[in-house]
Each structure stands twice: as structure tokens, then as C-alpha cells.
Amino acid sequence: MNSEEKNSVGIVKPLDFSFGKTGGDALALDCGKRLFPVNIRYETYGQLNSGKNNAILIFHALSGDAHAAGYYSEESKKPGWWESMIGPGKAFDSDKYFIVCSNVIGGCSGSTGPRSINPETGKLYNMSFPVITIGDMAKAQYRLMIHLGIAKWLSIVGGSMGGMQALEWAVSYPDSVSSVIAIATTSRISPQSIAFNWVGREAIMNDPDWRNGEYGDKGPDKGLSIARMLGHITYLSDESMAQKFGRNLQNMKDYAFDFSHNFQVESYLRHQGQSFVERFDANSYLYISRAMDYFDLSENYDGDIDKAFSGVKSDFFVISFSSDWLFPPYQSKQIVSALRNRFLNVNYCNIDSIYGHDAFLLEVDVLSRLISDFIRNQFEKAKR
């Protein structure tokens, strides 16, 4: 931990909540199967107040986990993935709010997923793990909410896939959500995004070390690395890549006239792929990316997003970014239009940014101002 780090929640400890140990309380999945037992890895920051009206649920994106803020030890140099937004005096002020972040089911960071033990066989699930949806993730998180003794979230917040979960919650559990902050997200994934996910999964599944998902310590590292590199390109923008890398060469004065990484951008992507392999599981990537593919909030409402929001009771703050071409602003505007057609209270901001989809992690200053004001107003409303 950096001793000079200001306004950090400090040292945090991951927590676990398990249910369905005997099968009697199994999680009923959208695919028709039942999952048990189920473990949810989560972290909390701040304290739940006596009125239990200051709780905020944070959702992570595809490659994220429950470690959203703080450090695991004094020696740790890497904080949680949203450290810049969570902590004393920050947008999600841990002096005022009780903040919860959980790892999704299907993940590889403590929650039940394909590398968990299948109780029927005593072996790893691997590809026998049931296919999950964003709705299934919300069902598991709802169980965690009950376990924590929270009746209603002050706000639920997420970017990218996290925003999908937030929208799913607002529709599936309208009485449990006071407000929603949906950032750089969509109400249904586009054909282009499905295509990128497909190519990423193909890279993994065509790696000879994948072994139909039955790999050991040596997994499909090359395939997972390629999937990450492809995905990472979609998180950036042409302008941000031009500013960060240009056509600069990597440690050379002229072209090498070979197929090694000549350019800085190539070296950067290679590093991203290699570092991802060290912390993420290939099978989890398959399951979580497929869950994103299946996400369509209007699917059970005759394809009408307006109908999907017919029972929603939350206030909304929808945020998009001008250079995000993975989930472009028009998709956020469709959400806003549908919410307004239902006469719901919705704020919308399209932030001018060069950072592409990754802007929800990088545009800290503007996001902090917008979000802190919104949550403060929601908290004042909750106390009336």
C-alpha cells in the first residue's frame, strides 16, 4: 500500500456469503438448471447506518471483480479497480455510505464459477457449469442483499457490463432500488459486440491447451491473451491510441522487418494480454462474455424497451462518452428515451472524452462531480 495514498479505505478483506448448500435453496437459473451451493465473494466499505438507507451496490465489468477499492495488505501496490471513486470524501464517500461490490457468479475471483467444484462429481465444473445470464447474476446479488439485511439500495451503480446489471436490477427488483447510475452501457448488446465476443471465445477455444475446458495449471494462455487484446482494442478510441502511442516504434530506430512487436501499441497490447492471463480464467471469460451476448432487456417485453421499464420505480442517471464506440452514446439515449416515455425521473450526460469505452474508469474528475451530486440528492430524498 502506498503510504502517501490519500482518502483510501485502506486495508480491506474479501468476504464470502454462501447459500444453497443442500440444494433446497438452490439458485434457479434462466437456462432451466439449478446451481448449488453458491458462494458470493464481496467487499464492503463504510458502515451501514441505523436507518439502513445509505447502502450502494457497485457492479463490475467483464474483467473486474469484488475488489473495487482499498488494498489487501500494507505491501500491496495495486488498489481496487475503482479506487479513484470509492473512499472518504470521494464520489462514493465511505464516510457517508455503505458500499458493497460483489464478484459475479461465473467469475473466477471467489464467486462460484466454472473453476469451482461441482458437488455431483467432486471435480471442477469447467464446461459442465451451466450457462448464466445477467439476470442470474442479479438473482445471486439479491440473495446477498437479503443476507446483509438491506431492504432497499440507495443507489446501484455500474459501467459497461456493470451497467447492464444495474438496468436488470431496476427491472427485476423495482422495490429494492431507489436510484440507478448506468454508465457506458446498453439495454441490449449489439451485433458488433456479439461479434467481438465470438472472436474472443474462438481464440480461447481453438487454443490446443484449452482441451475442451478441461485444462490444469497450463491453460489456453495464448487464446485468452488474444481475446483480451481484441477486447482491449474495443475499450479504447482512435484518438486516445493516437495520442498515447502514435506510430512510435518500440525500442528501435527503424522497422525490424520481421513480425515481432515493432510498434509501441503492439507491445502495449501484448502486455495487456499477458497480464490478463495471470489474473483471469479462460472458462470464466467464455461464460461471462456469453452472458453479455444474451443480455436484452426488452426480450421478455415483445422487444419493446418502453415496456421493459413499465414497472420501474427508480430515479436514473445515465452517462455515456462521446468516443465510446463499443457502447456508443445512441444506446444510452435509447435508454433515456424509454425511461422518459414512462415519465421516470432521469438525468442524462454525454461526456466529451477521448478515452473511448474506458472513459468510465479514467474520467475521474467529471464523473466524481456528477455522481457525488446525484447521490447526495438521493440521500437527502431518502432521509425525508
Catalytic residues: 160, 324, 357
Q: Using DSSP bridges, classify how beta strands 55-59 and 98-102 pair: parallel, antiparallel or unpaired.
A: parallel
Distance CA 162, CA 64 (A): 9
> How crowded is residue 293: how many other Cβ atoms within 10 Å of its Cβ?
17
Alpha-carbon distance 339 to 341, whole Å? 5
| β-sheet bridge partners, residue 351 | 321
Reduced to 3 states (helix: H, G, I; strand: E, B; else coil), residue 337 is helix
**Beta carbons of 327 and 185 less than 8 angstroms apart:** yes
Do 155 and 181 touch, CB atoms closer than 8 A? yes
C-alpha cell of residue 282:
479462460
Distance CA(277)–CA(365), nearest Å, equals 31
H-helix segments, the chain: 134-147, 161-172, 191-205, 221-235, 238-244, 264-277, 282-294, 305-308, 329-341, 359-362, 364-383
Strand 15-19 and strand 38-45: the pairing is antiparallel
Confirm if 305 and 334 have CB atoms less than 8 A apart: yes
For residues 183 and 220, give the distance between their C-alpha atoms in angstroms, rounded to a whole number. Answer: 32
For residues 204 and 282, is the Cβ–Cβ distance under 8 A? yes
Give yes or no for a contact between 54 and 98, defined as CB atoms under 8 angstroms apart: yes
- b/e 95-134 (16+ beta carbons within 10 angstroms → b): ebbbbbbbbbbbbbbbbbbbbbeeeeeeebbbeebbbbbb
Closest CA to 284 of 150, 161, 368, 139: 161
